[in-house]
Amino acid sequence: MTRALFVVDVQNDFTEGGALGVAGGAHVAQAVTDHLRAHPDRYDLVVASRDWHSPDGDNGGHFSTAPDFVDSWPSHCVQGSPGAEYHPDLDTSAVDVHVLKGDGRPAYSLFDGVVEGGRPFGQVLAERGLDEVEVVGLATDHCVRASALDAVAAGLRVTVLTDLVAGVAPGPSEAALTELRAVGVTCAPSAEVVDGATGATA
């Protein structure tokens, strides 16, 4: 079994004080760091994604001065800005592959991104021969959800570590986890998953 960790969009603009800050975002950054340090041999591949939006234009309608917070949003994670950087509490030294997404267009899933050199992430993933992925990061009801769904579509066994994600709002976040469970994703706290009790759905 070859296992990866997907760290989704743990960026300054998605944590407290950012343009689209999520309550608990900074906690997730530190908790993911602690998880990686506690289990240094658990993953064959660690992937981290970032929104990386163009400073020019509205990124295909993704940015709006009158956002609906469904399909359009305030400006965030603009290339080269402090908001686009990883949160400082996320230790990226364990990251093997960095993915950038949303350059000039909407992009929620990590699978929408490219790696250094412009190669599609899906192409890189296929070369690694992964069987299983655990997903953490921000936000549960948006980019975590989209990334997990695409991982299922790619034929991977998928687990969302529920103590290592945070969402924009409780209702939509729980709805996202319910949707993921319905397509076969395991949703459980990291301690239970690491201990092998992956039947949990908390």
Active site residues: 9, 101, 143
- Find the radius of gyration of the CA atoms of the chain: 16
Q: Would you report the helix, strand and coil content of the chain in percent, each value rounded to 5?
A: 35, 25, 45
The torsion defined by the Cα of 166, 142, 50 and 38, in degrees rounded to 10, comes to 30
Tokens of 163: 């103590």
**CB-CB neighbours of 73 under 10 Å:** 21
Output the CA–CA distances (angstroms, integers) from residue 188 to 6, 15, 103, in the order listed.
15, 22, 32
Where does residue 108 rank: exposed (0-12), middle (13-18), buried (19+ CB within 10 A)?
buried
